[in-house]
Structure 1
Amino acid sequence: MPTSQTSPKASRKVPRKSTQKATGVARCLAEIRRMIATGELLPGQKVHQAELAAQLDMSRIPVREALSTLQAEGVLVHKPNTGFTVGRFSSEDLSEIYLMRRLLETEIIRSIDLATVDADELDRLDGCLDALSPADEPDAYQSANLDFHFRLFEYSALTLVRQEVSRLWYMSSFYRSLYLDQETATLQVHDAHQRIIQAVRDQDVDALIAASDAHRAATEELVIRRLGRSRPR
């Protein structure tokens, strides 16, 4: 009787270099997004590949891949002889981003079975956010805010829609930091999150959509007011 053999496909291992490369790209993506969200990289500012590679202690290859990914997402812009720069948005651009977010996030919420959502976990995440200061810990604050919203979104099976919403959030991350710089912002964020949590507890999808819309609209209004009427790119 012939002995059974493991198929080459089943025994194939991911090369170590490929794993390291993927990890490097992910780390670079996270760092660039953090730098944009906190204003270390400003809209219109050039992103230097060599400096970023040295800062992260990695080769330029994963850095270049991360920059290309962010270009595809609309976060960065690439021009010949100039390289990569952080995307600059007018107030009209931001209004369009928030419009797309409203439409897509509403579909995400409608697709969620609210009976399955752990409201206590959302409350805990909001508590973690409350413990942070957006002025002193802007990167941690933005990250915690993202965790709150996307933990709710993760209950939706609309994977591609969630990915697009994530892209829109990252595109406007720096501009949201303008809103979080407002003195009343943290109180408004907390109150808005509590209304979202209560709607989840009540399993009231219409109330959840209304609370999310109001939260998003308040952010948009303050961001655009702070930004002013910017010139087109």
Structure 2
Amino acid sequence: MAKTTPTATGVQRCLTEIRQMIISGTLLPGQKVHQGEIAAQLNVSRIPVREALSTLQAEGVLDYKPNTGFTVARFSGEDLAEIYLMRRLLETEVVRTVDLAAVDVDELKRLNDHLKTLSANTDPDEWQSTNFDFHFLIFEPSPLKLVREEIRRLWYMSSFYRSLYIQQADSRLRVHEDHDKIIEAVKARDNEALIKLSDEHRGSTEHLLTQRLGWSRPR
């Protein structure tokens, strides 16, 4: 087994912190990412920051231009529609391969109950993290490891845009209600019902985002 080096640990910490900056809106789509500022903020050298930024570029979370450096990826309505299309296709295949008996229903309930206590306005980071944990708890038992990693990447890519959805009270209520139905499908070990509910849950987010951002949905 390969040893974890201090540099590797530093890169992972930088990845986590920069992702959180994007999710929370500290770094906005199209905004330049200054390596020196992040290194100073995280109290690390520029080396792990640069490696983390390169990883995020490979994931599609950041763009890079030689004379500009790294900027946070900015998506159009068509781009976001493709991301949600890929999510639908990949998440459907993952859910089909999950033995729902292996999913901890009590933990799903705990995460959703905790989500209901959070405000997306005052606790945005924890809200996003808890929502992420809820969904990936279901994906985790799938043997499709590479597909799960790709889904994770797509979630990171669209995290800022998804955060706009939860700022509306009626959207948060819809999330809680959808999660309750998802939990029941997991409890019943009904993969096909879970796929249908997940499609509706995901689709409502995409629909509201296209409306809120003034994008037309691709035909």
Please give the TM-score of this superposition, normalised by the length of structure 1.
Answer: 0.90
Pick aligned residue for 1:191 from 177, 183, 186: 177
Please give the alpha-carbon distance, in whole angstroms, between the structure 1 residues aligned to 2:91 and 2:75.
21
Distance in 2 separating the partners of 1:63 and 1:148: 29
| Aligned residue among 102, 110, 113 for 1:124 | 110
Instruction: Give the match for residue 162 of structure 1.
Output: 148
Q: Is the 8 A contact 2:105 2:183 kept in 1?
A: yes
The one-letter code matched in structure 2 to 1:218 is S
- Would you say 1:225 and 2:208 are equivalent positions? no
| 8 Å contact from structure 2 (residues 92, 195) kept in 1 | yes
The residue number in structure 2 matching 1:3 is none
1:179-215 superposed Cα distances (whole Å, 9 cap, x missing partner):
0111212111100111110001111111100110100
User: Which 4+ stretches in 1 moved above 2 angstroms?
Assistant: none
Compute the displacement of 1:115 (Å). 1.9
The partner residue of 1:55 within 35, 41, 46 is 41
Q: State the shift of 1:27 in Å.
A: 1.0
> Highest Rg: 1 or 2?
1
Q: How does 1:1-233 map to 2 (within 5 A)?
A: 14=3, 19-229=5-215
Q: Deviations over 1:54-93 (max 9, x none)?
A: 0000000000000000000000000011000000000111
CA contact (8 A) 2:87 2:154 kept: yes
For 2:152, the aligned partner's letter is S
Task: Verify the 8 A CA contact 2:103 2:137 in the aligned structure 1.
Answer: no
**1-structure distance, mates of 2:54, 2:78:** 25
Residues of 2 paired with 1:229 and 1:126: CA distance?
30
Q: What percent of counterpart residues are identical? A: 65
Q: Distance in 1 between matches of 2:12 and 2:47?
A: 12
Unaligned 5+ runs, structure 1:
1-9
Q: Note the C-alpha offset of 1:229.
A: 2.5
Structure 1 residue 36, shift from structure 2 partner: 0.8
Matched positions, count: 216
- Tell me the SS of whatever aligns to 2:5: helix
Q: What SS does the aligned partner of 1:46 have?
A: coil
The amino acid that maps onto 1:118 is D
> What letter is aligned with 2:148?
R
Using the alignment, how far apart are the partners of 1:53 and 1:116 within structure 2? 41
Partner secondary structure for residue 29 of structure 1: helix
Tell me, in whole angstroms, the C-alpha distance in 2 between the residues paired with 1:22 and 1:153.
26
Deviation at 1:116, TM superposition (A): 2.0
Q: TM-score, normalised by structure 2?
A: 0.96
